[in-house]
Structure 1
Amino acid sequence: MTQHILPAPRVATSRIDRRFPVRAIRFVLNRFLLLPIGAAIALVWANTEAEGYFRFAQALAFPVNEIGMAFFLALMTQEVFEAVMPGGALHSWRYWSLPIAGALGGLAGAAATFFLIVNLRHETVLSQAWPVAAAIDVAAGYFVLRLIYPHRNRAMPFLLVLAMVTDALVVALVVVASPDFSPHAGGAAFLLAALAIAAALRHGKVQSFWPYLIGAGTLSWLGLYWMGIHPALALVPLVPMLPHDPRPREVFDDRLDDQPVHYGEHEWNGIAQVALFLFGLVNAGVILKAYDTGTWTVIVAALVGRPLGIMAFIGLAVVAGLHLPRRMRWGELIVIALASSSGFTFALFMAAAVLPIGAVAGQITLGALSTVAGAAVTIVAAWLLGAGRFAMPKGAR
């Protein structure tokens, strides 16, 4: 009997040991952690062997930033689009007006704070970097809230709508204000041809993503590049015509089954993850001594200006007659506003898009990386406010 019982723990331990690497890899991939891993490597490399790092980064900057990031931006758009489809997690949510008001307030608060500090410090050369302070990392905010609210909660869709609207507005404003933007007829023709090809593939019920990405995606990339629009956005207008399946649960849930659409998403996700790692490796390597006015201006605008703007505009919207979502307290809104303070991924993307290589880019990039501190601030605020998992049990004092 003793011989029969004793081996069991070793078998269980062996099974756990075999599963651990798979679970660890899935944890990293599902939370887009390859980007901060790449960023950490870049920081160490740039501060220990700067010449070699910057030679490497400049060689890969174009293919990674202009082509590779197209897969990640399209993946994020696909996730959100499926969530707002009929039957999706965000489709039946009736309180879109309030988070949209919050998005406008957050954008105004971050930009106003940024410009105020820049002008008070007489550093107007930094003005072009305002989109970095205004950008929101959708995935970072989402996973911070998932940590605070382990079960389904109305805070998640509120943040997602707020972040999506903010980033869409930032991109639109940057495109319109860009001196390179020129709506050439040739570029528009390429874009229309891409949309027509994608529509034809959708009409033909093509389930594989690759004909969409290679055929229509290439034409869209060329069209945007010709018109002076960042070509990494090339796949975004094609997303509504890609094969879809509504996401009735959480937006970033991993769906492992034999459906062709889901299998294609996993292939696509793998490319996006590699692109994210390389993006962090290529763009996050800054000399820590580059810290200057632009660094803390981005931090203050994102961690202070944006949350204050969100709360102010939501307060004005409520005074004007809008209502808070059912059972949502003001304390939860504070947590949501703080969760939006991390710009990280999208802030790095905007820094690479709007700033030339140089001293300004260095200090602004360092500020973009530092906004990750917003996650810690959010968790502390949730603990102080008793939100989510930190809520006091009923009857306890």
Structure 2
Amino acid sequence: MYRVWNFLTDYSLLLIFGAVTALIWANTNFESYHHFVEFVIWDHAPIGHLHDGHRTLTLHYLVNDVLMALFFAIAAKEVWEAVILKNGSLRGKKAATPLFATAGGMFGPIAVYLGLALVMGSDTYNAVANGWAIPTATDIAFSYLVGRLVFGAGHPAVRFLLLLAIADDAAGLIILAIFYPSGDLAPEWLLASFGAALAVFLLFNWLPRRMDRGNQARPASTWVRKNLHFVPYALAGCVSWYGFMRSGLHPALGLLPVVVTIPHADRAFGIFSEAETHLHDLLNVMEHSLKYPVEVVLFFFGLLNAGVQFSAMGDATWLVLLGLIVGKPIGILIFGWLAAVPLRLGIPEGMRIIDLVVIGCVAAIGFTVSLFVASVAFDAGPVQDAAKMGALFSFGAAAISIIAGKLFRVEKRDL
């Protein structure tokens, strides 16, 4: 529990503080809050929002589109290790049922969100339809903490939940890239992104290892590591980010092609493992170095995105909230049951099928990624504000999870 709480302290408490500050500020002096969010740092900048034919770099763009790339890079690092490493948590049969459940945890919320929007009428549906992906997100840190509180640290459902959350992060990154472009698509610019990633991999990862074949001292790799460290990857990241921005894809995902090129250890212990801090491969060293900058970025992300007036609550609020707290548990239960029983993929020993309902309630905490998707799904205005309120209210899923655990008689198992 200490490691989980330490992670939350590192990455989430400042985010919550920023979000609470934004809510108070927006509901006491919305005009000054709005001016702060849209503060112009650089007019006629090489990056930023397009405005009257030129780009304007605002504080909001700097945080959401530039600096949040660091946060998504860390998320991508965890997903990449889970997929590529021999003992990765998303490899092999052990991940099959959680992956099915993840699909249910996305289709369920989408069905509830869009289905209820249709019931509300065509006007409501047309206004909110683009926000269908908001309730598909799961906040990995808070969900994991609540899962441990409900099931106990030693329950197999906690591991199942973590696999589901990692897979959900991976799917969320794909959704953001495909369905929420930041402008007119110009895919030729992606050649710059993937070209930079390929070049840095070949020159500073593959080639030194090739030169060191048969030499235990690894002189070429050691020289690159000691003298160049992260610099080539940082430069490639800048090029990749710029390529994403010009391509029309959301630039916050711009570092993803470079993350997979960085030298990494041959094993990973997981984001909440104490042992993870003792890995000294370049990928883990870079993640550890980003810890404090990302804390500050998340504070400003909460401050600049959670400033919603309570009067903004509307149809999108309840659609997002119901998509999460109703669609997630139903979708995870149905798809998890299909995988475990008819497809005979099974579930971890010590877990019950009914535990999938409780896992779904825990996974309904959307918060960080839901808030981010809401900010890109809708233009600034009442619908976006209402959707953000739904993402913030998803914290209520924690209380629902505790009640569901009692109702379905979950037996807590500590380590």
When the two structures are superposed, what TM-score results if normalisation uses the length of structure 2?
Answer: 0.80
Question: Is 1:200 aligned with 2:237?
Answer: no
Note closer, same or farther for the CA distance 1:31–1:66 as it changes in structure 2 (3 Å cut).
closer
2:311 to 278, 286, 289: 289
* Residue of structure 1 in register with 2:117 after alignment: 118
Deviates more, 1:266-275 or 1:247-256: 247-256
> Separation in 2 of the partners of 1:172 and 1:263?
26
Question: Is 1:268 aligned with 2:290?
Answer: yes
Deviations 1:104-132 (A, max 9, x none): 21211101111111111120211111111
**Aligned ranges for residues 214-229 of structure 1 at < 5 Å?**
214-229=234-249
2:160 maps to amino acid: F
Note closer, same or farther for the CA distance 1:240–1:39 as it changes in structure 2 (3 Å cut).
same
> Separation in 1 of the partners of 2:173 and 2:279?
36
* Residue of structure 1 in register with 2:191 after alignment: 188
For residue 103 of structure 1, report the CA deviation from its aligned partner: 1.6
2:164 maps to amino acid: L
Q: Percent identity?
A: 33
Match of 1:366, SS? Answer: helix
For residue 86 of structure 1, report the CA deviation from its aligned partner: 3.9
Note closer, same or farther for the CA distance 1:372–1:24 as it changes in structure 2 (3 Å cut).
closer
2:200 maps to amino acid: I
Deviates more, 1:185-194 or 1:122-131: 185-194
Residues 194 and 215 of structure 1 are in contact (CA less than 8 Å); yes or no, is this contact kept in structure 2?
no
* Residue of structure 1 in register with 2:372 after alignment: 349
1:62 maps to amino acid: Y
1:372 maps to amino acid: F
**Aligned ranges for residues 131-280 of structure 1 at < 5 Å?**
131-178=133-180, 180=183, 182-203=185-206, 204=208, 205=221, 206-207=224-225, 210-245=230-265, 248-254=268-274, 255-257=276-278, 259=280, 261=282, 262-280=284-302
For residue 260 of structure 1, report the CA deviation from its aligned partner: 6.4
Note closer, same or farther for the CA distance 1:198–1:364 as it changes in structure 2 (3 Å cut).
same
Match of 2:64, SS? Answer: helix
* Residue of structure 1 in register with 2:349 after alignment: 326
Match of 1:245, SS? Answer: coil
Question: Is 1:367 aligned with 2:390?
Answer: yes
Deviations 1:53-100 (A, max 9, x none): 111112311000011111111112223433455465626763222112
> Separation in 2 of the partners of 1:383 and 1:337?
15
> Separation in 1 of the partners of 2:36 and 2:88?
42
* Residue of structure 1 in register with 2:42 after alignment: none
* Residue of structure 2 in register with 1:376 after alignment: 399
Note closer, same or farther for the CA distance 1:345–1:199 as it changes in structure 2 (3 Å cut).
farther
Note closer, same or farther for the CA distance 1:334–1:218 as it changes in structure 2 (3 Å cut).
same
Note closer, same or farther for the CA distance 1:365–1:98 as it changes in structure 2 (3 Å cut).
same
Note closer, same or farther for the CA distance 1:181–1:101 as it changes in structure 2 (3 Å cut).
farther
Note closer, same or farther for the CA distance 1:181–1:307 as it changes in structure 2 (3 Å cut).
farther
> Separation in 1 of the partners of 2:411 and 2:401?
12
Residues 83 and 247 of structure 1 are in contact (CA less than 8 Å); yes or no, is this contact kept in structure 2?
no
> Separation in 2 of the partners of 1:48 and 1:106?
37
Residues 85 and 246 of structure 1 are in contact (CA less than 8 Å); yes or no, is this contact kept in structure 2?
no
* Residue of structure 2 in register with 1:4 after alignment: none
Deviations 1:194-245 (A, max 9, x none): 3322442223444476325521111110111111111111122222222323
For residue 362 of structure 1, report the CA deviation from its aligned partner: 0.6
Deviations 1:228-278 (A, max 9, x none): 111111122222222323565443234445946455432211111111111
Match of 1:319, SS? Answer: coil
Note closer, same or farther for the CA distance 1:167–1:182 as it changes in structure 2 (3 Å cut).
same
| Alignment root-mean-square deviation, CA | 2.8
For residue 374 of structure 1, report the CA deviation from its aligned partner: 1.1
Match of 2:33, SS? Answer: helix
For residue 164 of structure 1, report the CA deviation from its aligned partner: 3.3
When the two structures are superposed, what TM-score results if normalisation uses the length of structure 1?
Answer: 0.84
Q: How many residues align?
A: 370
> Separation in 2 of the partners of 1:213 and 1:52?
39
> Separation in 2 of the partners of 1:275 and 1:109?
31
> Separation in 2 of the partners of 1:114 and 1:186?
34
Q: Which runs of 5+ in 1 are unaligned?
A: 1-22, 392-397
